[in-house]
Structure formats: C-alpha cells, structure tokens
C-alpha cells in the first residue's frame, strides 16, 4: 500500500525508448498487384529507402544529374522506382551494413550472381522455396550430365532451361550501375534476402501517353498466382480438415465411373465389396459408414456413440440381408433390357455387325434410374431412411446424379436439400412418444453431419460401384456433354467391333515386349485410347493431355515408360486403376509430363512459322474470327464490281474431307515440315503475366511466350509483351521454363510422335497395344497445325492455282478451309464447277478424299465420274448453305446462324451447370458464355447483311441464350432457389443483352482494319433490349413459371419502344422456332 509521502513526492518520468520508424510506412505508389502478391504483412520499400535502412552510413544517391546523358538518367530513374521487399516478413529491417561507408567492388557481377544461384539451388531442399533467380538450375548428377547443359558457374549446379533473370542480373546496365554504387556485399544480400521488382524500360506503351507501371520480378520467392493473404496455412486443426468433405460445397466423387471399362465377372456390386462377403460383418459395415471406432488421442467416445453403435448394428444387418436378397442380374435385365434388334444381331454373329450398329444402343437414363431405385428399395430398409419422405427425396437426388453431364458435380447441399434430419432416429436417437424431438443448434449441426456422412457413403460405396460394375459411362459425339450409359455386354461388343475396325484401317497390334523395347528409347510414352461413339461408328481419341500417374510397387514414379509386369487388367489393380503404364518422367527431374507437355516446344515453333508465313496454310483458318476479314473483303469487291441495280451472282460450294486426320501420309508430312522449319535454332521465351483483379478479389495469371531465332533473341527485352497486352500494374514473372529448340531435335521428336505413336486400350482379358501406322493422333496439340500445313500444301496440287487467286479474268473468288471443311465462293461459274470436279477426284494416294454426303452447291450441278457416268451434286437447302455453324444466303451473300445444330435438345446437352457454390453468380457468368462464342461481327456487319438480317441474327442469338438459360435453370434445380429472385434473373437477362451488343460492336471495330470506312452497326440499345426481351419471353412461355416471371418480362417489354422492325422479326421467326427447338 502506498504511503502519504509517495503522494507528495515529485513524479519521476522515465525516459521512453524511441521507436525506430518503419521506412515502409512512407512508401507510396506501389502497384496493387505487388501488394497482393506479397501480402499485407510484407514490408515494401523503394530501393533507395531500403539501402538507406540496411546501410545508413553508405554514400548512396539515385538522383538524376542534368549534366549526365539521357540514358544514365533513365537508369537512375528505374533504380529509384525499383521495389524491394524482404523475403522473411517476420524479421525487422535492421542496419546490417552499418559500418559500410563506401561501396567496395572486388568481385565481378557475374561471379556474384553465380554464387547466389549456387546457394539458392543447394539450399532449395531445405527451404522448399522456388526463387525466380534460380529457376531452371538443378543440382548436378550423373543421370543429368548427358542430357542437360552445364551452366559453367560453380561445380555441382547444372542448367536445364534458360533463366532471363540471371542473365539480366549479370549483363544489364541497370545492375552494373547498382553494383558500382553499393558494392559486392549489398548486391549479394539483395539477391539472396529480398524480392526485387524492376520497372520495365518501356513504361509508355503504344496505346497512348498513359504510363503503365509494369514490373518484372528479378529475384525472390515465386508467387503461386494467388493473393498472399489467401494462401495462409489452415490453423484450425485436424477437426476442420476431417470435416472438409462435409462442407456444403463438397462434391460426390464420380470420376471413377466415367470412362471406366474395368472387367467385372458378375452383375451386381464388385467382388471385393463388403456386402458380397459370405460372413456378415455388421460392425465393419457400420465403421465404414460412420468412422465410429476412430478416437483421436485415445479419448473415450461420448455416450451418443455407444448409442449409435447399438442402434446401427441392426440397421446394418438388414442392409446385408437385403443385399443378399437382391437379384441384381434379374433386376438389371428387367429395368435395363438390351435392345431386341441388338439381341438378334448378336445371335447372328459379329460378322454382320458394325460399330455404328452398336454405338446408339445405350441404355436411357430413366431405365438406369429405375434400376438404382429398385435396388435401393430392396437393399436398404425403410427405417434406414427414417421416413418415406426422406427416401423419395433421396431418390430424386439419385435421378439428378444419373442425369449429370460430363463436367458437373453433385454437392452436399443438393444431397441434403429437403432432407428431414430428425427422421433419422437411429442416428440421433428417439424422442418422447408424445412430442417431436427438438435439438439445439450445435446438436442439430452434429446430426446433420452424421446424416451427410451416411448419405455420402450410400453414393460413394453403393451407387457409384453399382454403376461402375454394370455400365460404361461415357459421352459421345452425338450427345455432347450428356453422359450415356452402356450395358457391359453392349460395350464389350462395341469395343470388339471398334478394335477390329481400327486394326484394318490405321492401327496395328503389337506385343508387350515390342512396346517395352520401343519405349526404352523414346521420349514420349504410351497414351490411353478412348473410343468415342458416334452415329457413323467410332472416333479414336488419344488422351495425350493427361499425365499417367501409375506407380511402381515401392510407390516411386517410374522412369521407364512401361511397366515390367504386364498382368491381366482384372488382376493388376483395384477399381481405382486407370492405366498400367509407367509415365514418362522429365529428364531434368521426377516431374511427370504428358505427351502434349513434351510437345509444347514443337507447338510454339509451328505457331511461329505460321505467323511468319500464313501462306503455308493455303486457305486454312484457325477459326471463324479469321474468316470475317476475308469475307468482308470478298463482299466489298463483289459490290464494287456490280453494275448499278444488278447484283453479281456468287456461286457457293462446301466440301468436307473424309477422315482428314486418319488419312494423312506421314512421310509426306515430315518432308513438308522439314522445309517449313526455316531456322536451325529457336529461342522460346516463356513467362507469366500477373495482374490483380479487384472485381474478383484475386490475381489473374496469363501465360505468354515469344519465339524467335537465337540470333535475334534479346533475353532482356520483354517490353513488347507488355505493350501488346497493354496492362497497367502488371508483374512479369519468369519461372525458368524458357529454352532453345534445335531443328534436328524438333524433327526427331515430331517423327517419333507420328511414326512411333503407341496407344493402349483395355481388351477383354488384358490391355491391347496398338501402333498407329497411318494419320496423325487425334488429341495431340499439334494436330490442328499439322493438318493445316498438310492440306494447305495439297490445295494447289489438287485444285490448281485458279482457286487460290482472288481475281481471275474480272471474277472474284474466295477459298477458305477450317481443318477439313472447304468453302469456295466465286463469281466464276466455270471455276465453281472445276473446283467440285477436282475435289471429287481428289488424291486418294495422299489421303484427300471427300465425304459425298457433305458436299453442297448453290446451284444444280452434275459432275462426270472417271467411268463417264454423271453425278448430281447435292444442292444447298433453301434456308442457306451450311458451313461451320453458319448459313450463307447464296443470293445476297448474307450470313445467319445455323440453328439446326442446336435442334432436338442439343442446346441442353452442351451445358455445364455449376451447383457447388454461388449459383446465382455462376448463372450470370454462364449466360454471357452462351452468347460470347456467337457474337460474330460477320452476322452484324451492314456491308454484308441487310438491316432485316441483322435484327433476325440478334434475335436468334438471344433465342439461343434463352433456350440454354431455361435448360440451365431447370436442370440445375434452381426453380425453387436463386432463380426465384425475379429481380436478379431479370438483371442477368438485361446484362447479357447489353453485354452482347457491346461485344458485337467491339469485335466489329477490331475485325475490320478499315474502321473509318466500315459502316456503323445499325443496332441501338433500345432495339437490342426489345429483341432480347421478346426472345426470352417466347421461351419462358413454354414453361409454367408460377412466380410472376412472365408478367415481369412483359412489363419490361412495355417500356421498350414499339418498332416495326421488331414486329417483322417476330412474325418471321415465330414460325421457325418450333421446328428446331420445340
């Protein structure tokens, strides 16, 4: 207790220690991308401030000197704007070099950078941090000595890829000036302990006088492309991680059943399933259903777990009894019978069958659901569900699961929707007999987690294995993204017929020993072959884009491309088996690479050669975006040559090449590529562009690359990339993936890819290895360019030079091709006939034959066959000549959308409904994605289409969006959720209409180079809204929306101006809608 004297004593003020002011607090003007990458805890400073903080006694000045030359002042300006941040955010910025007063330069900058790179590479295993300065360097080993190039720095480090950051630090004038001003030790400290962001030399881009603060990360940890604050480790403990699969957005794993053709000897559940055991194991079944025996740290379970164990075992006994009682074979034949026509043909033998006869014999999803529904009712007793309401609700979820498309998922919140948790009395206990049981919030959440766990077990361990054992789930060419279900006998027949067909055409079966011998010397391994059903047979697709994650028995990645023990497929792996092949591992490490990833240098070089010489494609195009300028030029030339009041007639012809990928002659293609590659060495510079996106609360990462001859390659000049991207506040990141590609190595790799391509597919009892002896692999990243180069060279050989010329004898011609679809439009009737005659004759020895069913002409025309007989060419329909999703008016050269490609429910088959989270926002994004691929400027150019056609095209565009939106809302079970918010749905529609109008106008300005002379699109905002609302109203009236949506749409239409143009479009299009849509 204080005394009275203490009160009268004078107060003594203790001297307070002065806090050192954080120099990062006064740093302003830092781009948001850098702040987002480093996080809010990082200390970010300008270079001058940081050097002053770590070396306060150093005589250091970055001010510009008017007496110096302009280049030196530019370097000083860049150094003063350089951003520095310590790699360890926890440590304070201390005066490490307090005694340094003058810079001491005793070592060359080259040696300093080599020492830093060596230190980063050697310590990488301990720190587990990738540094931008050391990417592309690895610890030397005998395995890599003959496969990579040494970096000639210090012993023990080898270079596998080019690193522009290391070269920049060694040779740039900027770092030379910095080295001279601060000395050896501070430069070494900066490279080792900090992240340095250097501003680009070209800060004013060609977009105008706007200054773009673009930086390049020279050294420091490589960010992962996400905000640093969002990547903090989860410290919630094991409990949150164990409940992660119970979150509302967690999904049911259905990937194991898609495309699986595992052999199952009997109908029903898999042989090793717990319900197929002879001895009943109720305790283990309950443990698999609910992890009841797992007690962390030896703690005792609460009483409710003992009660759950007592009440759950009788339920498990009933489930095992019901599974023994269920006759899956008879139930499958009753619910999913095989087609009678297929049964009769099977008895006749495979000789009378073709793949196209079996491709369409899939089981309807309704029959699959009926099979699952009856199996669930037999196996699981009613008291397992708690009530008939829960059983009916779960069956509704099963029906949704069966109808899911390829990329869709079933989240827990859909699984638990409308499920009565309190009805599961065997899980939560029974209440009193006279009133319904009530639970507190925490108890109800615990009960919900229990029910979710049990229902997920039903899906993962009963429904998915049952589907996997009895059906093949795959998409097809004629079903889009809709999943088809084939009975195992049906698919076995289809697979057998398809392999027999492929062996006679382009593949040859080889032995496993031959495969092993081939792959020991190849860079690319085997690829899994997918058999994709189509209406005319089968399309073989090699999955070259996927990594094969097969492992050896010791669990380590295999370096050999093929396994040493080729056992039968049924005995080799469990149901999760995907391939028996060991993957190709990178020669510079253990990272597994797919074939397309191995071929990415070849793809970059082919793209470079095409950009430098587009004539190599002939009339080939990479998409419809390249077709618009050519079509605009053709129409302009025709209109310029037309007499007053008399339009010039154009003759149209479209031709499809038959099996264009499979008929390519490999030797001719390789000879052609050898002449196309014009350089001996190519420098491939790859980097990433990071840009903060505040609207998405994240960072957008964009991959960029530059290809050029080695002689003209300047590894420091990256300003051109930023000028073309015209980004502000972007960060350029070199991850050490740049390389030098030699022509000889590229040709050898492409030759190996074409002539030694081996695929593997599942046979009846073992894997079947096939060697592709003809054509190019479908699924390869090179296939598009190889096909264009090949058929571009054949155009002149087959058709001559007349079709290539834009004008011959006063006529105008246009020949274009997208992969295998030719289109010739000319004012010369003789050229039109000679083109069709030449294409019909073709060149079978070089693989150029046409598909007779896909040849169209705008006029009646008969051709002469080789035997002297006549052949009548199919005339185009009255609606227009179809080509690549477009319809051409052969009289006026107008262009429309081909709506027949979306007929018969194909619009709904092309959807992917997002159910996991933010369904409303995903709906808004999806609606814009419906219109984005079809906002072709060719449809709305007034110099090509009349005003009437432009209005009709925009109405058709909105009609397609309305059909897909309606199917999206219906299939996503959103009629009772987010779409019930009428205001939100109407705002999505209005945003989509205005987004389409803006995108059309911007693409029109970019597509026509002569923008000053190009006519303006006569489509106002009011007209677009009126056409769009009418299109949505026409579709919404098909379905009974009971929450006032149609009335609100009509109110929106009343606010739009009534235009005769809109009424004319509605009168024309209403009659055609039911033909292709309803």
Q: How far apart are CA 244 and CA 258, in angstroms?
A: 24
- Please report the pLDDT score of residue 154 as a whole number: 66
Percent of the chain's residues with pLDDT above 70: 80
List Cβ neighbours of 111 (8 Å cut-off, separation of 6 or more).
Answer: none
Task: Enter the tokens of residue 598.
Answer: 């191995």
Mean pLDDT within 663-689: 91
Q: Is the pLDDT of residue 380 over 90?
A: yes
**Any idea what the Cα angle at residue 501 is, between residues 850 and 516, rounded to 5°?**
115
pLDDT of residue 474: 92
**Radius of gyration of the chain, Cα coordinates, nearest whole angstrom:** 34
Specify whether the CB–CB gap between 525 and 548 falls below 8 A.
yes
pLDDT band at 581 (very low <50, low <70, confident <90, very high): very low
Percent of the chain with pLDDT over 90: 36
Tokens of 215: 């930086």
How far is residue 1070 CA from its own chain's centroid? Answer: 37
Whether residue 877 is predicted with pLDDT greater than 70 in this model: the reply is yes
Q: How far is CA 210 from CA 204, 213, 440, 728, 1005, in A?
A: 6, 10, 60, 9, 22
The tens digit of pLDDT for each residue in 238-284 reads: 444 557 888 888 999 888 888 777 666 778 898 888 998 887 788 88
> What gap in Å lies between CA 519 and CA 560, rounded to an integer?
8
Of 290-304, 771-785, 903-917, where does the model show the most confidence? 771-785
Rounded to an integer, the average pLDDT of 200-214 is 53
3-state secondary structure of 663: coil
* Mean of pLDDT values over 682-692: 86
Q: What is the pLDDT of residue 203?
A: 47
**What's the mean pLDDT in 218-244?**
63
861 Cβ contact partners less than 8 Å away, ≥ 6 residues apart:
832, 833, 836, 872, 873, 875
Q: What is the mean pLDDT of residues 7-12?
A: 44
Is the per-residue pLDDT at 23 higher than 70?
A: no
**Most confident stretch, 43-57, 139-153, 515-529:** 43-57
Bigger pLDDT: 151 vs 365:
365
Mean pLDDT over 126-130 rounds to: 76
Cβ neighbour number for residue 1070 with a 10 Å cutoff: 11
Q: What is the pLDDT of residues 785-804, one digit of tens each?
A: 999 999 999 887 777 655 55
10 Å Cβ neighbour count for 391? 18
Has residue 921 got a pLDDT over 60?
yes
Give the lowest-confidence range in 61-75, 617-631, 932-946.
61-75
Q: What pLDDT does residue 1069 have? A: 77
Q: What is the pLDDT of residue 959?
A: 92
pLDDT tens digit sequence for 89-111:
777 788 889 888 899 999 999 99
Q: How far is CA 1004 from the centre of its chain?
A: 27
Closest CA to 897 of 964, 952, 825, 822: 952
Provide the residue ranges of all domains of the chain, joining segments of one domain with +. 37-228, 631-663+781-881, 897-1076
What pLDDT was estimated at residue 505? 83
Residue 876 contacts residue 890 (beta carbons within 8 Å): yes
Confidence tier at 162 by pLDDT (50, 70, 90): confident
Q: In the chain, what are the helix, strand and coil shares in percent, each to the nearest 5?
A: 45, 15, 40
**Which segments of 411-562 does DSSP mark as H helices, in order?**
412-415, 425-428, 441-458, 464-470, 488-505, 512-519
- 185 against 126, higher pLDDT: 185
Flag whether pLDDT at 590 surpasses 50: no
Read off the pLDDT band of 666 (50, 70, 90): very high
Domain 897-1076 CATH class label: mainly alpha
Q: Which range is least confidently modeled, 123-137, 688-702, 917-931?
A: 688-702
Instruction: Report yes or no: 79 and 174 within 8 Å, Cβ to Cβ.
Output: yes
CA angle 999, 1000, 1004 (to 5 degrees): 115
Residue-averaged pLDDT of the chain: 81
Annotation: CATH topology of 631-663+781-881: Alpha-Beta Plaits (3.30.70)
If one compares 991 and 296, the residue with the highest pLDDT of the two is 991
725 or 158, higher pLDDT: 158
Instruction: Supply 468's token pair.
Output: 């996997």
Residue 471 pLDDT > 90: yes
Q: What is the pLDDT averaged over residues 743-755?
A: 93
Residue 332, pLDDT above cutoff 60: yes
Residues 6+ apart with CB under 8 A from 876: 652, 654, 856, 857, 858, 882, 890
Q: What is the pLDDT averaged over residues 1023-1052?
A: 85
Four-CA torsion 279, 284, 289, 295, nearest 10 degrees: 180
> Does the pLDDT of residue 556 top 70, yes or no?
no
The whole-number pLDDT of residue 1032 equals: 92
Q: Which two tokens stand for residue 467?
A: 């589907």
Instruction: Specify whether the CB–CB gap between 719 and 200 falls below 8 A.
Output: yes
Task: Flag whether pLDDT at 571 surpasses 80.
Answer: no
- pLDDT at position 435 is 57
């Amino acid at each position: 207790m204080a005394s009275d004297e203490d009160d009268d004593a004078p107060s003594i003020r203790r001297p307070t220690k002065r806090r050192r002011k954080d120099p990062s607090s006064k740093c302003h003007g830092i781009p948001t991308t850098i702040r987002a990458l480093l996080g809010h805890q990082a200390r970010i400073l300008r270079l001058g401030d940081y050097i002053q903080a770590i070396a306060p006694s150093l005589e250091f000045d970055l001010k510009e000197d008017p007496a110096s030359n302009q280049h030196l002042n530019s370097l000083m300006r860049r150094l003063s704007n350089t951003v520095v941040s310590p790699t360890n955010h926890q440590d304070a910025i201390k005066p490490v070099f307090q005694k340094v007063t003058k810079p001491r330069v005793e070592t060359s900058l080259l040696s300093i950078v080599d020492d830093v790179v060596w230190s980063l590479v050697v310590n990488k295993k301990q720190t587990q941090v990738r540094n931008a300065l050391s990417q592309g360097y690895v610890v030397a080993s005998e395995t890599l000595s003959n496969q990579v190039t040494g970096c000639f720095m210090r012993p023990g480090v080898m270079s596998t890829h080019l690193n522009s950051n290391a070269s920049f630090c060694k040779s740039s004038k900027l770092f030379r000036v910095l080295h001279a001003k601060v000395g050896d030790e501070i430069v070494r400290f900066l490279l080792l302990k900090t992240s340095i962001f250097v501003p680009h030399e070209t800060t004013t881009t060609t977009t105008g006088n706007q200054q773009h603060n673009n930086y390049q990360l020279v050294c420091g940890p490589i960010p992962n492309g996400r905000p640093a604050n969002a990547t903090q480790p989860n410290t919630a403990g094991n409990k949150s991680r164990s409940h992660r699969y119970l979150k509302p957005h967690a999904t049911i794993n259905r990937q194991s059943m898609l495309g699986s053709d595992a052999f199952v000897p009997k109908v029903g559940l898999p042989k090793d399933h717990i319900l197929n055991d002879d001895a009943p194991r109720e305790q283990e079944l309950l443990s698999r259903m609910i992890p009841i025996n797992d007690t962390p740290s030896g703690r005792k379970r609460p009483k409710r777990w003992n009660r759950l164990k007592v009440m759950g075992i009788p339920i498990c006994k009933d489930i095992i009894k019901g599974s023994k009682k269920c006759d899956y074979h008879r139930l499958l034949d009753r619910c999913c019978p095989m087609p009678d026509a297929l049964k009769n043909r099977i008895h006749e033998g495979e000789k009378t069958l073709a793949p196209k006869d079996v491709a369409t014999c899939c089981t309807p999803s309704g029959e699959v659901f009926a099979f699952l529904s009856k199996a669930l009712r037999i196996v699981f007793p009613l008291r397992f569900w708690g009530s008939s309401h829960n059983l009916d609700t779960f069956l509704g979820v099963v029906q949704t699961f069966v109808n899911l498309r390829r990329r869709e998922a079933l989240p827990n919140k859909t699984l638990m929707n409308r499920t009565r948790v309190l009805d599961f009395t065997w899980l939560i206990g029974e209440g009193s007999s006279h009133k319904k049981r009530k639970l507190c919030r925490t108890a109800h959440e615990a009960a919900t987690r229990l029910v979710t766990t049990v229902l997920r077990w039903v899906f993962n361990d009963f429904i998915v294995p049952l589907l996997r054992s009895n059906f093949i789930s795959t998409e097809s060419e004629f079903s889009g993204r809709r999943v088809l279900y084939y009975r195992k006998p049906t698919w076995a027949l289809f697979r057998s017929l398809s392999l027999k067909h492929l062996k006679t055409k382009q593949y040859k079966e080889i032995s496993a020993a031959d495969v092993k011998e081939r792959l020991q010397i190849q860079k690319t391994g085997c690829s899994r072959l997918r058999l994709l059903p189509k209406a005319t047979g089968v399309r073989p697709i090699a999955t070259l884009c996927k990594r094969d994650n097969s492992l050896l028995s010791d669990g380590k990645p295999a370096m050999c491309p093929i396994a040493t023990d080729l056992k039968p497929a049924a005995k080799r792996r469990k149901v999760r088996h995907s391939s028996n092949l060991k993957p190709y591992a990178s020669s510079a490490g253990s990272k597994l690479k797919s074939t397309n990833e191995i071929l990415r240098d070849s793809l970059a070089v082919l793209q470079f050669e095409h950009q430098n010489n587009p004539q190599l494609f002939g009339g080939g195009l990479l998409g419809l975006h390249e077709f618009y300028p050519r079509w605009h030029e053709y129409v302009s030339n025709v209109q310029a040559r037309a007499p007053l009041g008399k339009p010039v007639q154009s003759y149209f012809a479209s031709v499809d090449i038959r099996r264009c990928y499979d008929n390519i002659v490999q030797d001719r293609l390789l000879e052609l590529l050898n002449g196309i590659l014009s350089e001996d060495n190519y420098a491939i510079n790859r980097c990433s562009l990071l840009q903060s996106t505040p609207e998405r609360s994240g960072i957008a990462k964009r991959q960029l690359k530059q290809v050029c001859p080695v002689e003209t390659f300047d590894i420091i000049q990256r300003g051109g990339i930023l000028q073309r991207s015209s980004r502000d506040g972007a960060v350029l990141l070199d991850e050490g993936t740049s390389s030098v590609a030699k022509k000889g190595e590229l040709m050898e790799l492409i030759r190996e890819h074409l002539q030694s391509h081996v695929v593997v597919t599942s046979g009846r009892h073992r894997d079947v290895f096939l060697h592709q002896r003809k054509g190019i692999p479908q699924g390869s990243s090179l296939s598009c360019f190889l096909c264009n180069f090949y058929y571009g060279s054949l155009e002149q050989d087959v058709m001559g030079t007349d079709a290539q010329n834009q004008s011959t004898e006063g006529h105008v011609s246009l020949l274009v091709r997208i992969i295998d679809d030719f289109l010739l439009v000319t004012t010369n009737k003789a050229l039109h006939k000679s083109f069709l005659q030449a294409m019909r004759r073709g060149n079978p020895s070089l693989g150029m034959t046409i598909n007779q069913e896909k040849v169209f002409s705008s006029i009646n025309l008969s051709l002469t066959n080789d035997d002297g007989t006549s052949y009548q060419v199919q005339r185009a329909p009255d609606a227009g000549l179809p080509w690549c999703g477009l319809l051409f008016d052969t009289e006026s050269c107008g262009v429309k959308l081909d709506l027949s490609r979306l007929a018969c429910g194909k619009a709904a088959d092309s959807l992917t409904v997002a159910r996991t989270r933010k369904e409303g926002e995903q709906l808004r994004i999806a609606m814009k994605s419906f219109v984005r691929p079809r906002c072709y400027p060719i449809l709305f150019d007034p110099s090509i289409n009349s005003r009437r056609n432009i209005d009709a095209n925009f109405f058709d565009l909105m009609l397609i969006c309305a059909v897909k939106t309606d199917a999206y809302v219906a299939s996503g079970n959103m009629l009772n959720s987010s779409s019930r918010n009428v205001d939100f749905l109407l705002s999505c529609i209005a945003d989509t209409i205005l987004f389409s109008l803006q995108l059309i106008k911007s693409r029109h300005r970019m597509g026509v180079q002569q923008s000053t002379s190009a006519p303006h699109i006569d489509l106002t905002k009011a007209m677009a809204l009126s056409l769009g609302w009418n299109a949505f109203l026409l579709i919404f009236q098909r379905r009974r929306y009971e929450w006032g949506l149609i009335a609100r749409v009509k109110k929106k239409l009343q606010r739009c101006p009534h235009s005769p143009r809109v009424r004319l479009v509605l009168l024309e299009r209403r009659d055609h809608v039911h033909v292709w849509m309803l």
